[in-house]
Chains A and B, each alone.
Chain A
Amino acid sequence: MLQIDALSYAELRRGIELGYCPTISKMVREEGYTLRRWFCGLPSATPYCQAGIFHGENEGIPAFRFYDKLERRVITCNTPSGVQYIRDRIRAPGALAGGSSYVNLLDGDAQTVALTVATRERMSVFQRLGGWRMAMLLILHPIRLLRMGLQAVLEWLREEYERAVGELARRRTHSEGLFPFIRILSNVIVREVQTMAILLDVYLGVPIIYSTFMQYDELGHHFGPSSFQALRDLRRTDARVREIRRMIDSVGGREYDLVLLSDHGMTPSSSYRVLYGETLGKTVERILEGDAARRGNRALRARESFSHTSEYADMGPQVVEAVAQVTPASQRTFRRALGHFRDWMRSKYGLRELILPEKYRVEDDHDVVVTYSSCLALLYFVDDTKRLELTEIARDPRRAHLYLELLDHPGVGLLGTVSGPSVHLESTTGRAIIVDGRLEVLEGRNPLERYESSEQVVRAVEHLVSQSNTGDITIFGAYDGYEIVSFDDQIGAHGAAGGNQLHPFLIGPAYLHLERARIDDARDIHKTLMTRYSTAALVALLALAPALRGQQPARPASGVIAGHVLDATTSEPRQGTSVAVVGTPRGAIADANGRFVIPDVPVGNVVLRARLLGYKAIERPETVAAGDTTRIEFRLEPEATLLGAVRTQARPVERDAFESRPSVGTVQITARAAQGVPKFGEPDIIRIVQLLPGVEARNDFSTGLNVRGGESDQNLILIDGFPIYNPFHLGGMFSTFIDPTVRDVTLMTGGFPARYGGRLSAVLDVHSAEEVRGGIHGTAELSVLSSTGALGGAFNHGKGTWMIAGRRTYADKFVDLISTQTLPYHFRDEQAHVTYAFTPATKLALTSYDGRDVLAANSAAFGDSASADATGGTFLFDWGNSVNGASLTHLMASRNRGALGRFFLGDSTALEQRVSLSRFSTELDIGAGTLTLHNHVSDLRFAGSVAARTASHERTFGYDVVSYNIQYDARSSATEGRLYDLRQSPISGAAYFDDIWRASPSWIVESGLRFETLSRAAWSSVSPRLSAKYFLNKDFAVTAAVGRFSQWTHSLAREDIPVRLFDFWVASDSLTPVSSAWHYVLGSERWLTPTRYVRVEGFYKRYGNLLEGNPQEDPARHGDEFNVVNGDSYGADVLIRQFENGPFSGWISYTYAVAARNASGTRYFPGHDRRHDLNVVASWRLSKYLFGVRYGYATGTPYTDIVGQVVRRIYDPGLNAYGTRGSGSQTQFIGGTRNGARLPTTQRLDLDVTRQYQLRGMTIAPFLSVVNAYNAKNVFIYIFDYTKSPPTRQPISQFPLLPSAGVTIHF
């Protein structure tokens, strides 16, 4: 428990709003901590409140300073003896038993105390300061010591500056002579030391710790509770809170509830002395003296008895003097210097500005003693040892005179006395009595009206005034509704009623339900909160007993925590978020819908931590009940996109994946990671995936992915888990994924789990973004190529989200505007994503995508002849994808299940059912129906899974059934002929089992079996999958994977064609075999820092029945569409990645791969056989700029050398001749050895800069990218010419230097 002394609820809110308390703000606003106001009772002073909090007993503490008539002594709580006086009278046990107390007035029976004024057992000053424990803490932490020194100097300079400014501005500042040193002591040294002590305690697992940060109180008194100085200092206290939280996080097994509170508040005040030119004591003395003049010796006597020097005033010089005295006499010069310093200090700070010392020395001859504690004063008639009632005061004219004079004094707002069983209150405007908490106005107006006359205040005033050692007259400083008169020279006051001084704050974990508790006094804090921890401490001690006896404690009951993780600003689910139960090995990774389930969580209070790269980590306390499911929602706050010096320690999700599953060959790229990567025209997530290890791009014109030697049609590409067949535009230059709709992508380059099937090489899962903010928000992207718009929002109180997006290229329109020529090509994409949570456990997600490429024109539009323009025919190339899918997920709570049920359903169960219809179609129409090529693939898919989680297993049973409808035909409506017609409608079925088994702290094994069958082909197979990870230490693991994979939908593409517009797809059947592959992966992964790792993986893949398009296929025959080849690939890839937690991020990837194929006994290397591929990607965030760079270096890919040309003669049967009647002839190339030559190495440097502006709630980010910045001459293909002698070979380049620009607007 951390107490911020005197910080009222209202001022805390102000500090939060002004940004002085970021940690506290985060706790309250994001992490579910409860912030409430409470009523501290009267007096609103630390001794009263702390006694109530610690012991539930605070009777007999009527003020910070009060008088003991019997002992005839003033009790003041800024002296050890005064506090000890209070401590000695407390009988109730303290709540800090077994714990620690730091910087408190009372010890609360803490076992460890430091900087605590009073303890049950007497302690030496050294012990009170913390003893050797604190000394060692200081000595053993030289960095903190050095920081303290520097901060002390800064604090002194700050004090001097503020004082000077205050004096120049004639501001009411009241710097006590020693205040600068007190300020240094409290604001620097004490705060640093107490923080160290708390950190150590947390590390050691001390069950309860209570510490007071008193700095705000000091500054508030001297500068005002709302002053810049006081509020600004909260920032440093807040930083300490953050530091303590971090320590709580970083040590395992410490399940702390962090409670923040203040003991009372503070109200702005004016100094009585300043206002009226005398102190209250002087006023009393003057009144009594005046009365004495009238009454002679019968008058009461009082004498201003305060000391003219603060008890602290000379402490600094005395310390210096002490140092001088212990300095050896031989060092006279040093001693003289110290002497001068002492004199200077005494002269400068000793009595420069007098602040009244707030204390009285009581002499035997005094009849009246006035003690004042800030805005509360107590007047004692010490000539009578008993407590006087109002009637007794009134009976004595001298006392009555004093009473009435005080009543009339403008600096006094309220006089309280005891009147029989009631309390009598009187002000100049009226009087009232309080009996049993009820106030009755006797005359005039309610005297408590200005101070607040709520039931709580009335009861508190009654309690205060009626205490036995309260003054015979209780005096409240006059209060005007804003400022209260303080009898001390203070700008901020507390002790009485009026303003915020009675209303401190309380912050605690939500599960404590502090908001429900009725707190009418500090004692109620003890009752409702402290006893919980004193009991817990006791339980903790008792819990040690079985262990001490060598007995194994019984396995505690457990519960389940389930929930989902959302982006706080967009409400999109955040897949991959690591949710961990702090201090336990329990945790889970959020799935594609942001859902997670953590089974087998020990019952009781736990702290959950949610982390995701690019987001601020969240911690939230929760209470887990046995056999029940606790549902929770995390909303992650994105880290600022353009950061300066701010750094976050959030762990990347890969780290959690590293710790929780084998994750062989898996890499995730978030939209944030993609921001800094240079763009070609516009952002494209697939182009970024090409830069990852194991992935090779054929050339600049291809977004196809060749993963570890595989063909580009061997990748299972998913959008929100639904397959998409040909996600490319314009031959692969762009992917179909609209940038603002992409949340992240996950790439699995090999050995992927059993839940994935139907492809041989890799899985690429693209997840849609979701907009969870209410209203309508969107993104607009304008680039040189296209315009993109996305809109989205949340509805029904955040239960549902929607997002729609569209993109279209507009180069065709632009050319139409400026030219008579045409550019007859455009592509467009539309996407919609809707989610709705019917209940916290049941969520529906819908994804719809449709995109088309259209290349349509009159072919004659490109000719030179005007007449040909009119006679020319049209052609249409139209191709694209559509995906419509729905998923319904449901999380089931744990129930009492038998062994079998536990095996299949676990402690918690996630059910998922998916249905989707994916289509890809191509239409090539040459000459308005003269020749039409058509390919259509539809994939109607039903899939589902049951994921059962236990403490050590995560078992998934799943299925998918796919009904394909494939048409591949060539026809001519103009000839009414059908040249080719293939129709297939196979059905594939798969059932799988996957088990992630945490076998031991060192071993994680994921095993699975996938049974697959395909109708029409009479084929079925069982594919085993196995991957494992062995931890050599917590940062270093070795991984291995093996698995068999099958593919029965095939592209008719050939590997030796460097680019293609799209693929034609057909399925395996009785004539076309199913392809298969075995993966063998061995690797290791080492985390160098929490945000940087190195991964090395070697791989070997063996293929069977690979299919490549047969260029000589006979349209009249079915079954010759493919040539069957076998092959293998092997190599290794390396990834060094720095995550996006600072200004620098990026990765270095290197891939060595050899791919080979065997066809008809001939071994050749396919066109994507790139041996070495190096990519360096880096981004640098500098203020509002984001700089990106990408450098790629790769060895050349194979190509078939052209060895000559042949003139093909067109036969004219009518003339029995060749090349006549316009039939012409064709010159075609003759190839040499298949892929027998290699293109030269390629290299490319891309640069990008983005600037971010904020304008009227919008974020505008223009960018400029340069692709191939130094215009490297990378060869795309060669064009040979053997009609010349000697023959020539002309290279056609890949991307030359291409600048592009655009702007992204978020609103």
Chain B
Amino acid sequence: MSAALAVAAVCALTSCELAAVTVPRTEAGVVVHAVLNTTSMNQVVLVERTLVGSANIPDTSFDSTDPIVSAGGIPISGATVEIIDSLGRVFRGVEDRTVLTSGKGAGVYRVPIVGTTLLLGTRYQLRVRTPDGEEVTASTRIPRADVRSTGGLSRTINRDHDIVNVQWAGSQTARAYAVRIESPYGPFFLFTDSTHVRLTGELRNPFSDDLQRVLMPGFRQDMIVAAVDSNFYDYYRTNNDPFTGSGIINRVSGGIGMFGSFVTLNTGTLTVIADRTEPVEGRYRFIAAASSGAAPPTTDMTIYLESKGARSDLPNALTGRFTAANGRVDGIIGEQLGQTVTLSLLNNQLAGNRFDIFTGALRGDTLTGTFERNGGTAVFLRTP
């Protein structure tokens, strides 16, 4: 990372880009991503090609049903994907493209192995044969975990005071333990050799663009702790550096990628709150519509001051949650500059997936404003 930063720094200061030239296409390889997950209904294997200039890759928005194509990949359709367990049983995958009516899901192969039936502590093999005759193989040994549970991590966390103190039972065959917390700016995850972790409210997400905090007041953030094998661990802790194109630990024969194991040890949801000391903080209830129009998308919002602006002329950051008319609870991110408050109502608690935007003015306990998409002016009253 420091090397990349150094290059970026010096280039920004003193370099300039010269005219680009074309280079010859190279031979494409096979890329495989596969994780055996003990909690999933089936096992997903992505099979695609390396990018070698054989096609222009369009810049499209991500579609979870078509994860390869919508995320800049070249899928390999028609491949034979097989997972063989330690007993020699062979499970063949089916490409989503062939079963989904939308025709999406090229290169996404689902192997019909229910996670709970995976044999912990045993070795599984992956074999992929492309239509062009290329064969890729890999193997993984699923960590054995004697104690597994779900929901055990759920708790309410006051970010200002509490520490997320999580412990789990160890697994002798796990290479490491993975801890993952979903957040509006992307997941936070870490590997550890320890069987416990203590997370403070100050924790920042180094994988997010702007190093946002992991725990956001008002949000309900899923947390998962799992034991992983060495393939999973090594693949995700290493990177190819931009100068040499090497660095990733690749244990897939005949291609690039990863065939790993992920054994969930515990899950839960962290309900994050914080002290409410600033005027803008509080629970706002819809009291009236100031003008005719559709009903507001929410009648109940809880707002927290996430952090203050760096300067007085910069806005404060707000977070929170809202309850939709249908009872769905989701997250809010927003900002406050003076009396002006702007709130983004999110889908799936993802900062990049906005459901509606409220813009209003805060006067005393009254927040008056309009929703961009769903209605006219609404008045909210802050209650303790």
Contacts and interface: CB of A to CB of B under 8 A. Distances in A.
Interface in A1050-1109: 1054, 1056-1062
A1213 B262 contact: yes
Given A1200-B243, A1217-B64, A1227 B72 contact: yes
Interface stretch (B122-130, B136-144, B293-301, B305-313): B305-313
A1224 interface: yes
Contact of A1280 (B23, B31, B39, B200): B23
Contacts of A1283: 51, 53, 56-57, 72
A1288 B17 CA distance: 13
A1056 to B, nearest CB: 5
Interface in B128-168: none
Contacts of A731: 6-7, 9-10
B384 interface: no
Contact of B50 (A930, A1200, A1205, A1214): A1205
Contacts of A1208: 33, 248
A765 B29 CA distance: 51
A1218 interface: yes
A627 interface: no
Contacts of A1199: 243
Nearest to B4: A1057
A1289 B57 contact: no
Contacts of A1273: 18
Contacts of B99: none
Contact of A975 (B14, B40, B190): B190
A1296 interface: yes
A972 B214 CA distance: 14
Nearest to A1232: B245
A1206 B72 CA distance: 10
B51 A1282 contact: yes
Interface string B11-25: 101111111111111
Interface string A1204-1229: 11111111111111111111111111
A976 interface: yes
B204 A873 contact: yes
B204 A1204 contact: no
A711 to B, nearest CB: 15
Nearest to A785: B13
Given A858-B310, A1057-B241, A1230-B256, A928 B204 contact: yes
Nearest to A860: B210
Nearest to A1063: B2
A1218 B245 contact: no
Interface string A965-984: 00000001111110100000
Contacts of B39: 1213, 1216
Nearest to A701: B10
B275 interface: no
A974 B204 contact: yes
Given A1213-B262, A1221-B186, A871 B15 contact: no
B18 A1292 contact: yes
B11 A1276 contact: yes
Contacts of A869: 309-310, 314-315, 317
A1061 B40 contact: no
Contacts, number: 351
A1229 B204 CA distance: 28
Interface residues of B, number: 120
Contacts of A309: none
Which interface residue of A1204, A1229, A1280 has the most chain B CB atoms within 10 A? A1204
Nearest to A861: B310
Given A733-B10, A1206-B31, A1209-B46, A871 B203 contact: no
Interface stretch (B77-85, B276-284, B322-330, B348-356): B348-356
B51 A1200 contact: no
Contacts of B95: none
A1302 B42 CA distance: 68
A975 B199 contact: yes
A810 to B, nearest CB: 14
B288 interface: no
Contacts of B187: 1210, 1212, 1221-1223
Contacts of A1290: 17-21
A1218 B190 contact: no
Interface string A1284-1295: 111111111111
A1211 B204 contact: no
A877 interface: yes
A1061 B5 contact: yes
B213 interface: yes
Which interface residue of A867, A974, A1273 has the most chain B CB atoms within 10 A? A867
A622 to B, nearest CB: 55
Contacts of B121: none
B271 interface: no
A927 interface: yes
Contacts of B71: 1207, 1209, 1218-1219, 1224-1225
B205 interface: yes
Contacts of A329: none
Interface in A1248-1307: 1273, 1275-1277, 1280-1296, 1298
A926 interface: yes
B133 to A, nearest CB: 19
B38 to A, nearest CB: 10
Contact of B23 (A924, A1057, A1206, A1289): A1289
A867 B202 contact: no
Given A974-B202, A1218-B44, A870 B314 contact: yes
A1211 B21 contact: no
A551 B3 CA distance: 76
Contacts of A977: 190, 192, 194, 197-198
Given A975-B199, A1227-B51, A1291-B18, A1222 B185 contact: yes
Contacts of A973: 200
B199 A1204 contact: no
B248 to A, nearest CB: 7
Which interface residue of A874, A1220, A1273 has the most chain B CB atoms within 10 A? A1220
B14 A1295 contact: yes
B100 interface: no
A1269 to B, nearest CB: 15
B48 A1207 contact: yes
Interface string B46-61: 1010111111110000
A875 interface: yes
Contacts of B180: 1213-1214
Contacts of A870: 306-310, 314-317, 335
Nearest to A868: B210
A871 B10 contact: no
A1296 B64 contact: no
B84 to A, nearest CB: 20
18 contacts: A867-B335, A869-B314, A870-B308, A870-B317, A873-B211, A979-B192, A1056-B243, A1111-B238, A1209-B33, A1211-B35, A1211-B236, A1211-B260, A1215-B64, A1220-B62, A1224-B62, A1229-B242, A1234-B244, A1292-B18
Interface of A: 700-701, 730-731, 733, 825, 855, 858-861, 863, 866-875, 877, 924, 926-931, 972-977, 979, 1054, 1056-1062, 1111-1112, 1114-1116, 1199-1200, 1202-1232, 1234, 1273, 1275-1277, 1280-1296, 1298
Given A1112-B238, A1204-B26, 10 more contacts: A871-B333, A976-B198, A1058-B7, A1206-B31, A1208-B33, A1221-B182, A1230-B240, A1232-B26, A1283-B51, A1286-B53
Interface of B: 2-3, 5-7, 9-11, 13-29, 31, 33, 35, 37, 39-44, 46, 48, 50-57, 62, 64, 67-68, 71-73, 176, 178, 180, 182, 184-187, 190, 192-194, 197-200, 202-206, 209-213, 222, 224, 226, 232, 234, 236-249, 256, 260, 262, 264, 267, 306-310, 314-318, 333-335, 337, 348, 350-352
Q: Which 3 A-B pairs have the closest CB atoms?
A: A1231-B245, A927-B204, A1287-B53
